[in-house]
Amino acid sequence: MKPVVFTGAGVAIITPFNEDCTVNYDRFAQIIEDQIAGGTDAIVVCGTTGESATLNHEEHIDVIKYCVDVVNHRIPVIAGAGSNETEYAVRLSNDAEKAGVDALLSVTPYYNKTSQRGLVAHYNFIADRVSAPIILYNVPSRTGVNIKPETYAQLAQHKRIVATKEANGNLSEIVKTVALCGDDLTIYSGDDDQTTAIMSLGGKGVISVLSNVAPAAAHGIAQAALDGDFALSRKLQVEWLDVCNNMFIDVNPIPVKEAMNMMGMNVGPCRLPLYEMDDASKEKLYASLKKHNLVK
């Protein structure tokens, strides 16, 4: 059986910016501390929610290294290190390893995409050149490519490909992936609103956007499922569904950063081309936060 990187709720952490869109490291340290205090089980840094697409290479590695240093082995740190250029994905992964991460998150190639055979070649090429465990990231709504269950079965044969963050929204394919891969591939939900469902199929947790604003809630949903209390997990899942949905009322991470600013966390803007939400969306987001006593 392969090692499990973490169980429970790992936060897909935002990258806070100053008003000039430079990285706000002091604020980042406080956010990390708040996450750990709130019960977060792992930190996923420089993923989509961390605006990796607009961080240059030096910033990307600096943010990862800073996160690793602040966390200081208290919980696992997983670094976003994927690319649609395979050689660059290796470079990014190697530099993240040198920064001291516990695992790598590797999104499928985007825009140029690839075939299922290409996915196997791409990921095996990376896995042969790293030493850290790899969590695959399947998010067809962003990348335009979906990892099929049969492809997962091939990829899971590599000793360093240990898990996937699954955000294809297709529970039928997830069931088939579980059947084909068994203990050779850990599955994490990539969508907060499917945490309970995926964990009922054997998933080990969630990589969560919700956790940025409500770490105890995200942890509670996942932990109840890990404890076998699916009635409680379901209850919490439904209770927080409005916030989960409103985290995607606009393009991620626009709403979650807006929510954190509403909560007084001062995480700054998103970098262009991501742009602030319209007033109607802000009102809807604020209402859901207020319902859960996250704002006054």
Catalytic residue among 65, 123, 137, 188, which? 137
1 pLDDT tier (thresholds 50, 70, 90): confident
pLDDT for 213 equals: 98
The pTM for the full model equals 0.96
Q: Which residues contact 68 (CB under 8 A, 6 or more apart)?
A: 77, 99, 100, 101
Q: Which residues contact 222 (CB under 8 A, 6 or more apart)?
A: 7, 8, 9, 41, 195, 199, 205, 206, 233
Nearest one of 229, 192, 196, 194 to 213, comparing CA atoms: 192
pLDDT for 249 equals: 97
Per the annotation, the verdict on 137 as an active-site residue is: yes
Nearest one of 279, 203, 292, 183 to 244, comparing CA atoms: 292
- pLDDT 10s digits, 143-156: 999 999 999 999 99
Would you say residue 124 has pLDDT above 90? yes
- pLDDT 10s digits, 29-61: 999 999 999 999 999 999 999 999 999 999 999
Domain ranges of the chain: 8-230
Q: Which residues of 49-72 are buried (b: 16+ CB within 10 A; e: fewer)?
A: bbbbeebeeebbbbbbbbbbebbe
Per the annotation, the verdict on 176 as an active-site residue is: no
Rounded to whole angstroms, the Cα distance separating 248 from 265 reads: 19
pLDDT for 154 equals: 98
Would you say residue 296 has pLDDT above 90? no
pLDDT for 217 equals: 98
Catalytic residue among 123, 152, 165, 188, which? 165
125 pLDDT tier (thresholds 50, 70, 90): very high
CATH number (3.40.1520.20, 3.90.1580.10, 3.40.50.300, 3.20.20.70) of 8-230 reads 3.20.20.70
Kindly report the backbone phi and psi dihedral angles of residue 203, in degrees, each rounded to the nearest multiple of 5, phi listed first.
-60, 155
Averaged pLDDT score across all residues of the chain: 97
